[in-house]
Amino acid sequence: MASPPPSSAPVPAPASAVAALPHWTVPVLAFAAFGGLIGWRVGASPVSTVLGVAIGAAFAFAGAFVLTTALSMANPHLERPAVREAAAKGFLLILPFAILALAAEILLGWKASQVFSSAGLMTAFGAVGVEVSRRGGGKLRSMLVPTATAFLLSTAWVMLSTIAAANWKR
């Protein structure tokens, strides 16, 4: 008797520890770092640093909510948990930028956290779009929605940082 043909069912993605965390965890940690760097640079005090951490964390939490909501609205056929799972994986890509920003500022004295945060935001949001399209989201929508959202949030972050820097200096 001939053996059954090999299964052609798609191989599920490997299990990920990331899936156990809320999807906003990583961007909150990353932007807490970015905010802390800016707070330390403009105020040079623990108070300004902690305030920067808090603002960065709040900003990232809001940004994660905005992106997942926008992607869910653009892909109504997808379950919200699937979008959040995609976001949890995609947001991981912001970690290298946060770590490198910390290393650059602390070890090399670079004042360039804005460059790292902007690039990290665009990369991570783009990765979320890729993850959403892998789970059945529309390819074009999953590319355009994160890119537009990342551009707006990146601009907002730069403006927020500038306003904070101007007020702390007074």
Partner 1 sequence: MSSGATIGSVGEGPARTRSAQIKAGLLIFVNPGGALKGALSQLPIHVALGVSGIAFGLFFLQTGLDLLRVGHQTLPRFAMTGNVGVVVLCLLGVLYGTLGVVFLGAIAWVATRALGATLTLEATVRALALGYCPALVYAVFGLVMNVAFGWNTALAFGVTGVLWAIGPMIATLREMLGGRIEPSVVLATILGGLTLFGWAFLGT
Judge whether 70 and 76 are in contact, CB under 8 Å.
no
Q: Which residue from 115, 156, 163, 166 is in contact with partner 1, where contact means CB under 8 A?
A: 115
Quote the CA–CA distance of 58 and 99 in Å, as a whole number. Answer: 19
Residue 138 falls in which region: left (phi positive, over 0), alpha (psi -120 to 50) or beta: beta
Q: C-beta of 87: minimal distance to partner 1 in Å?
A: 13
Q: Which two tokens stand for residue 90?
A: 């995609």
Q: Which residue from 50, 104, 160, 165 is in contact with partner 1, where contact means CB under 8 A?
A: 104
Q: Which of residues 12-51 bind partner 1 (CB under 8 A)?
A: 13-14, 16-18
Quote the CA–CA distance of 146 and 37 in Å, as a whole number. Answer: 25
Torsion of CA 50, 53, 55, 59, to 10 degrees: -170
Q: C-beta of 79: minimal distance to partner 1 in Å?
A: 21
Comparing CB distances to partner 1, the nearer of 61 and 126 is: 126
For partner 1, the binding residues (CB under 8 A) are 13-14, 16-18, 89, 92-93, 95-97, 99-100, 103-104, 107-108, 110, 112, 115-116, 118-120, 122-123, 126-127, 139-140, 143-144, 147
